[in-house]
Structure 1
Amino acid sequence: MQSRAWKWIGLGAIAAIAVGSAVAVERRRRQQRRWQEYDTDEIRSRLHERFAAIGSPPDDPAVP
């Protein structure tokens, strides 16, 4: 009787791992889709905006 209980516990654990893996893969796919939805020009313009917000570099040559 105890052997059957452990068998069901083991099967439940395997099922939980499989479901958890499937959820992780789906989240990764959704994240990848969001990343691929960005247009190259949109990314470039965002980077230019962020760089412009930082301002010009300091005139002191000792500061990298």
Structure 2
Amino acid sequence: MRWWKVVGLAGLVGVAATGAVIAREERRRRAYTPDEIRERLHARLAKTAPGREGSAPGNRSTRQ
């Protein structure tokens, strides 16, 4: 076998493996319901900004 055939075959296997990983991650991401996503986002927000419930980081108003 010539070296370029081996390189081409390795590239093809790499592309297939990458596609499989992306497909698995996409299935895992789409498995959440909108309510589950909302709950997880609220939990993350509460963890990062415990004293600022209901406001997102970076959305500070200049008026007081």
Q: Within 2, Cα distance between the matches of 1:28 and 1:43?
A: 20
- Give unmatched runs, 5+ long, in structure 1: 1-6
Deviates more, 1:41-50 or 1:28-37: 41-50
Normalised by the size of structure 1, how large is the TM-score? 0.69
Segments of 4+ moved more than 4 angstroms: none
Corresponding position of 1:9 = 3
Give distance in 2, aligned partners of 1:52 and 1:12. 52
Percent identity, aligned pairs only, is 34
Matched residue pairs, number?
53
How high is the TM-score relative to the length of structure 2? 0.69
Structure 2: 5+ residue stretches without partners: 56-60
Kindly indicate whether residue 23 of structure 2 is the aligned counterpart of residue 25 of structure 1. Answer: no
Cα deviation for residue 52 of structure 1 reads 2.8
More helix by share: 1
Partners of 2:42 and 2:7 lie apart in 1 by 50
